[in-house]
Amino acid sequence: MPALTTNVTRLGLYGGARPDYGAFTGKTLAEVNSSEFSVMISGQGQCHVAGVAEQISVATIKIRKLKIVAQEDNAGQVYLGASDVDNTVNDGLKPGEILIIEPLEYFDLNEVFLDVDTSGDGLDYYAFKA
């Protein structure tokens, strides 16, 4: 199975002076996750092959809130779920639709999988670390 393409943007949520995040450009999710300042993470993923579920993240990151946005330029829908997710499991997200997951406790980002109707479609995600 091809690896999910993940681009990470690191955001800090602090009052006062904002740290310079330029050093995080091009870093992997694991590298950004290890930062002491990392409170919120965001990423982008494309499912390379329609019908083949792929993890949103291969890194283990405990999160407490997840917002997923189906990319506007998708040709089809994005489906989310466990490793067995496909287009028969749920209604999916149409381009531009948003799903917010707020569990009672944290969960690992690598437990969330996506599948798509059209190869190359994807999503953007935003998460608060636990």
| Amino acid 14: pLDDT | 38
Residue 73's pLDDT band, with cuts at 50, 70 and 90, is very high
Is 20 contained in some domain? no
Of the CA atoms within 13 Å of residue 40, those in its CB half-sphere come to 12
Residues 6+ apart with CB under 8 A from 10: 21, 24, 27, 32, 35, 37, 38, 40, 41
Is 89 contained in some domain? yes
| Amino acid 112: pLDDT | 93
Q: Which residue has the higher pLDDT, 39 or 50?
A: 50
Q: Are 31 and 64 in contact (CB under 8 A)?
A: no
Per-residue pLDDT tens digits for 80-103: 999 999 998 889 999 999 999 988
Is 1 contained in some domain? no
For residue 81, give its domain range: 25-129
Is 47 contained in some domain? yes
| Amino acid 86: pLDDT | 92
Is 105 contained in some domain? yes
Q: Indicate the number of domains in the chain.
A: 1
Is 31 contained in some domain? yes
Is 87 contained in some domain? yes
**pLDDT exceeds cutoff 50 at 11:** no
- Nearest residue to 128 via CA among 101, 99, 110: 101
The domain that holds 117 is classified in CATH as: 2.60.120
Per-residue pLDDT tens digits for 13-36: 333 344 444 455 555 556 555 554
Average pLDDT, integer, range 9-13? 39
The beta-carbon contacts of 102-107 under 8 Å, at least 24 apart in sequence, are 102/64, 102/65, 102/66, 103/64, 105/64, 106/62, 106/63, 106/64, 106/130, 107/62, 107/63
Average pLDDT, integer, range 59-74? 92
Is 2 contained in some domain? no
